[in-house]
């Protein structure tokens, strides 16, 4: 518990162990709103949140609460002035994730924290992707609730944590009732092996954060430059400045994402994220960014981590370039573009 | 069972530790873990090469020995349940 707390700048008494960030998100959103349901009926979140946050909000909407989904700019960041305008006297929670899992963008959490302090609204952030990768400080960010995940920092799967501020104390209605473990917030036997694993992972992450970040940044540049040297029409989705170095979401023009994925069988990439893998629709995150439909369909997410090697990056570049070139060769759209025809002007005939 | 930080390690001991770590690293079946162990060992020893303060030296040495124990345990465990398919990078 102390190991997890040390990584985020909190006290061990403020850490509650759960089964994962999904459960922590559920407890935060539904728990807070149910507890304050008499006075607070409004929640503010963003359009690019993780599925579990959006789903919890939808559940709240079905119960009669109101939810505002803030739009994001084309760089993936929310507009702080818009946030200010949306805050109402009955706003019970603002939930914005720190690092996005699909595009890797880092939201301006410190500024959001300041706004929440000003209006005295609890601030919840899903820091599952941020933990151990960027500096997380619950005081500086002024968060009341933070969701953490074990397996995102090379810990075991099936464990996570929820940070709950004690001063000023935030109250939640527990989602798991029972014997009163974890200060009554989350009943159920605490899974000792998983929790020990998460603690060890957090301690390691704290020691290795600087070394990892430097190395991963170099690998990200190597990947991006390697691909850009060989092919054009490559777009990076999300802001290049405010991003986590281990995530690269690229769109390749005139190529379809799923077919590129099938061609890249040896590389562990995804077109979207694990929680949207069942559907063939382009990801809602990219749609929120305002990316064109055709570019949204071609996006691929590369993840770089502590164990990624330079050779793997080079191999990924080689395979990606080969596949993209092959697919473009087969594509009639690409032929038309090379001849100079403007695709947007084409009138597609109905069959 | 902690490694005792008794005294400053001699050059010979440090080199021995370095070689042992690399030897164990080579034994991991998983490509990524193997490469990581090799790389992390080399980088850590390189970063600490100019340490002169005795307490820092013995702390770093004990840390290295503790990591060697972890690596020995884990490479044994992993080899008991080797993956059926090797990484593409191993071909």
Q: What is the CATH number of the domain that holds A324?
A: 3.90.1150.10
- Evaluate whether residue B76 is within a structural domain: yes
Kindly give the residue spans of alpha helices, DSSP state H, lying in chain B: 11-26, 31-47, 54-80
Shared domain check, A179 and A227: no
**Is the Cα dihedral A234, A275, A258, A310 positive or negative?**
positive
Is A312 an interface residue toward B (CB < 8 Å)? yes
CA distance B88 to chain A (A): 7
Return averaged pLDDT per consecutive 10 residues of chain A, 351 residues in all. Answer: 91 92 91 89 90 90 91 87 89 90 88 90 91 88 92 92 90 86 88 94 92 92 91 85 87 83 79 58 80 79 90 90 88 81 71 58
- Evaluate whether residue A53 is within a structural domain: yes
- Evaluate whether residue B65 is within a structural domain: yes
- Number of domains chain B contains: 1
- Evaluate whether residue B4 is within a structural domain: no
- Check: CB of residue A86 under 8 Å from CB of residue A44: yes
Which pLDDT value is given to residue B4? Answer: 47
**Domain end call among A188, A204, A220:** A204
Minimal-distance CA residue of chain A relative to B86: A266
- Evaluate whether residue A227 is within a structural domain: yes
Shared domain check, A194 and A248: no
Shared domain check, A131 and A54: yes
- Check: CB of residue A104 under 8 Å from CB of residue A249: yes
Is A311 an interface residue toward B (CB < 8 Å)? yes
- Evaluate whether residue B5 is within a structural domain: no
- Check: CB of residue A128 under 8 Å from CB of residue A147: yes
Shared domain check, A200 and A213: no
Is A308 an interface residue toward B (CB < 8 Å)? yes
Contact: B35, A211; criterion CB under 8 Å: no
* Best A209, A312, A313, A315 residue to mutate vs chain B (most B CBs within 10 Å): A312
Which pLDDT value is given to residue A279? Answer: 63
**Domain end call among A204, A237, A263:** A204
Shared domain check, A235 and A104: no
- Evaluate whether residue B34 is within a structural domain: yes
* Minimum-distance CB partner of B36 among A266, A306, A311: A306
Shared domain check, A219 and A199: no
* Cα–Cα distances in angstroms (integers) from residue B13 to residues A120, B10, B17, B69, in the given order: 59, 5, 6, 16
Across the beta sheet with A247-252, the strand order is: A234-236, A247-252, A299-303
**Domain end call among A155, A175, A204:** A204
Contact: A266, B43; criterion CB under 8 Å: no
Shared domain check, A335 and A226: yes
Catalytic-residue membership of A116: no
Looking up tokens 């706003």 gives A91
- Evaluate whether residue B52 is within a structural domain: yes
DSSP string over A282-293: PPHHHHHHT--H
Residue A333 structure tokens: 């759209």
Catalytic-labelled residue, pool A57, A116, A202, A275: A275
Please give the ipTM for the structure prediction.
0.83
Contact: B89, A315; criterion CB under 8 Å: yes
* Structural domain boundaries enclosing A249: 209-345
Can you tell me the distance from the alpha carbon of B43 to that of B49, in angstroms, rounded to the nearest whole number? 10
* Structural domain boundaries enclosing B46: 11-90
> Under DSSP, is residue A66 helix (H, G, I), strand (E, B) or coil?
strand
Can you name the residues that pair with A243 across neighbouring β-strands? A105
Q: Which residue in A250, A290, A293, A289 sits closest to A271, CA to CA? A: A250
- Evaluate whether residue A351 is within a structural domain: no
Q: What are the pLDDT digits (tens) for A264-321?
A: 877 777 766 555 555 667 778 888 888 877 777 788 888 898 999 999 999 989 998 9
Q: What is the CATH number of the domain that holds A124?
A: 3.40.640.10
Shared domain check, A289 and A156: no
Shared domain check, A215 and A198: no
CA distance B71 to chain A (A): 15
- Evaluate whether residue B6 is within a structural domain: no
- Sheet strands (E) in chain A: 15-18, 42-46, 66-70, 91-95, 123-126, 145-149, 160-164, 234-236, 247-252, 299-303
Shared domain check, A166 and A217: no
Q: What are the pLDDT digits (tens) for A240-280?
A: 888 888 888 888 888 887 788 888 877 777 766 555 555 66
- Number of domains chain A contains: 2
* Minimum-distance CB partner of A307 among B33, B43, B88: B33
Shared domain check, A196 and A318: no
Shared domain check, A270 and A147: no
Is A266 an interface residue toward B (CB < 8 Å)? yes
Contact: B89, A306; criterion CB under 8 Å: no
């Amino acid at each position: 518990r102390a190991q997890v707390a040390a990584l985020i700048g909190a006290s061990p008494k403020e850490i509650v162990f759960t089964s994962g960030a999904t459960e922590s998100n559920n407890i935060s959103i539904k728990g807070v709103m149910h507890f304050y349901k008499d006075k607070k009926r409004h929640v503010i979140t963003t359009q690019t949140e993780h599925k579990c946050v959006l789903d919890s909000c939808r559940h709240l909407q079905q119960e009669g609460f109101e939810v505002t989904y803030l739009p994001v700019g084309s760089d993936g960041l929310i507009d702080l002035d818009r946030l200010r305008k949306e805050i109402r006297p009955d706003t019970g929670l603002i939930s914005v994730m720190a690092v996005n899992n699909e595009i890797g963008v880092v939201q301006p959490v410190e500024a959001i924290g300041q706004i929440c302090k000003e209006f005295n609204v609890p601030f919840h952030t899903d820091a599952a992707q941020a933990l151990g990768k960027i500096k997380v400080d619950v005081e500086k960010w002024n968060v009341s609730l933070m969701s953490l995940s074990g397996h995102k920092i090379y810990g075991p799967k099936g464990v996570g944590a929820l940070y709950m501020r004690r001063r000023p104390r935030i109250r939640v209605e527990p989602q798991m009732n029972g014997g009163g473990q974890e200060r009554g917030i989350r009943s159920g036997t605490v899974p000792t092996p998983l929790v020990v694993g998460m603690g060890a992972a957090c301690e390691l992450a704290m020691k290795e954060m600087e070394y990892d970040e430097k190395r991963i940044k170099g690998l990200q540049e190597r990947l991006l430059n390697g691909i850009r040297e060989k092919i054009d029409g490559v777009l990076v989705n999300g802001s290049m400045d405010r991003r986590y170095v281990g995530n690269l979401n690229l769109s390749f023009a005139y190529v379809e994402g799923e077919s590129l994925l099938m061609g890249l069988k040896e590389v562990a990439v995804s077109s979207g994220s694990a929680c949207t893998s069942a559907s063939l629709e382009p990801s809602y995150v990219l749609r929120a960014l305002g990316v064109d439909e055709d570019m949204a369909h071609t996006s691929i997410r590369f993840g770089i981590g502590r164990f990624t090697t330079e050779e793997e990056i080079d191999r990924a570049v080689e395979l990606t370039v080969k596949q993209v070139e092959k697919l473009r060769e087969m594509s009639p759209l690409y032929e038309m573009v090379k001849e100079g025809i403007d695709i947007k002007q084409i009138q597609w005939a109905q069959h | 069972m902690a490694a005792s930080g008794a005294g400053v390690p001699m050059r010979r001991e440090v080199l021995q530790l370095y070689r042992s770590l690399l030897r164990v690293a080579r034994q991991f079946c998983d490509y990524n873990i193997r490469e990581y162990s090799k790389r992390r060992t080399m980088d850590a020893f390189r970063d600490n090469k100019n340490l002169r303060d005795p307490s820092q030296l013995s702390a770093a040495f004990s840390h290295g020995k503790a990591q060697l124990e972890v690596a020995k345990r884990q490479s044994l465990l992993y080899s008991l349940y080797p993956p059926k398919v090797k990484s593409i990078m191993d071909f």
